Structure 1
C-alpha cells in the first residue's frame, strides 16, 4: 500500500514558528503553501507543515524516527534548541522531545545503541 503523510502543526504566530521550525529541522521549508502555511518534506511523500491556527495551537504530538538519532540531536543542539525531555524505553528505543513556543510536541526517536 502506498503511503503519504501530511502531518500538521497549528501555531499561534506563523512568523515566529517559521523561524523556530527552520532551526529545528535545519532548513527553510520545502515550499510555502500560503501566507500562513509552510511545508517541509521530510522524506518522499512524508511532510510536516505548520499553519497559523491560533485556536488549535499547542496540541500537536508527532514523533519522527530517524536513522542517526545522536547526530540529529547534536545538530539541533548546535542550532540552539535543546530537548525539553529525553526518554529511553524498556526496549532501548530513545526519544528526544522538543516543544515549540506554543507547546506543540515534536519528538525524534532512534533505535537502541
Structure 2
C-alpha cells in the first residue's frame, strides 16, 4: 500500500463520516453504536467491503422516507447488525479458533 492509497483511503473515510454527520441525531447514535459493535465482532474484511457505506445508504433512504431509525432496524440493533454479517467470517470466530487451537496444542 503506497502513500497515494493511504491518502485516498483517508479522503473516502472523511466523506463517509461527513455522510454520517448529515444524518439526524437518532440515526447517528444508532450508526455509531453499530459501527463500534461491528469493529469489535464484525467481519474480518469490514474495512475492505461496503457494509458501512451500505448502512449509511439504507439510513439515508429511511430519512428520505420519513421513518425513524428503529423502524428500520427494529429495537434490537445488535440483532440487526448480526443479520448483516451472518455469512461473514468475524473477529469473534477468529479469536475462538485461536483459543481452540492453543488449547488443542497444549493438550497434545
Asked whether the two chains share a fold, i.e. TM above 0.5, the reply is: no
More helix by share: 2
Which structure exhibits the higher relative contact order, with contacts defined as CA atoms closer than 8 Å and separated by 6 or more residues? 2
Query: With structure 2 as the length reference, what TM-score do the two structures score?
Result: 0.27
Report the TM-score, using the length of structure 1 for normalisation.
0.27
Please state which structure has a larger fraction of its residues in strand. Answer: 1
